[in-house]
Each structure stands twice: as C-alpha cells, then as structure tokens.
Amino acid sequence: MSIDFIVHDADDSVGVIVVEGIQAGQEVTGWIMEGNETVTCTVHDAIPIGHKLAVRDLAENDAVMKYSVDIGRAIKPINKGEHLHVHNVKTKRW
C-alpha cells in the first residue's frame, strides 16, 4: 500500500498530499502518524503535492486543524476529500 497523504495528529482536519498527480475522483490512502493508522478517502479535486486535503467535513467558520494547531477558518463548507486552499480557508498567518 502506498501513502498519498499524511495526517500528523488524530484530531487534525487536514492531511498533506505527499505524491504528485492526485486527480479528482481518485481514492487516496493516508497515514495518521499519531496512532500509526491508515485511512482512505476519495478526492473531489485535483490536488498538487504539498497542498492540503480535508479528512473530515468542515462547516463554515470551523477551525482548520493541522499538527493539533488551529491554522485557519473554513470560509465556506468543505467536504471530506476537498482541496483546502485560499478559495475556502482564511489563514491565521495574516
């Protein structure tokens, strides 16, 4: 089994894509580092390497969690398997 994305902590809402060529409709496998578990989901969008993938549904204004840290807010509902980026997340950086 190959790993397509990594989730750092079990409570995170995003995983990071670690391979190139992820396409819409593709089933991908992720590794949750905390607990050493694997999960699968079907992606809704093509997602570039290094970008984030929703690993659970997020409602508008939900916190986006990565490394168990609140890194931003969903600015609209985001479904499991969707690409997270500037079109649907407001970062806390600025």
Q: Tell me what pLDDT residue 92 has.
A: 82
Q: How many structural domains compose the chain?
A: 1
Contact 41, 27 (CB under 8 A): yes
Give the domain CATH number at 63: 2.30.130.110
Q: What is the CA radius of gyration of the chain?
A: 12
Q: What is the pLDDT of residues 41-76, one digit of tens each?
A: 999 999 999 999 999 999 999 999 999 999 999 999
Q: Tell me what pLDDT residue 49 has.
A: 98
Q: Tell me what pLDDT residue 81 has.
A: 97
Per the structure, the complete domain to which residue 27 belongs is given by 5-91
Q: Tell me what pLDDT residue 93 has.
A: 75
Contact 14, 72 (CB under 8 A): no
Alpha carbons within 13 angstroms on the beta-carbon side of residue 1 total 11
Contact 73, 15 (CB under 8 A): no
Amino acid making up residue 32: I
* pTM score of the predicted model: 0.92
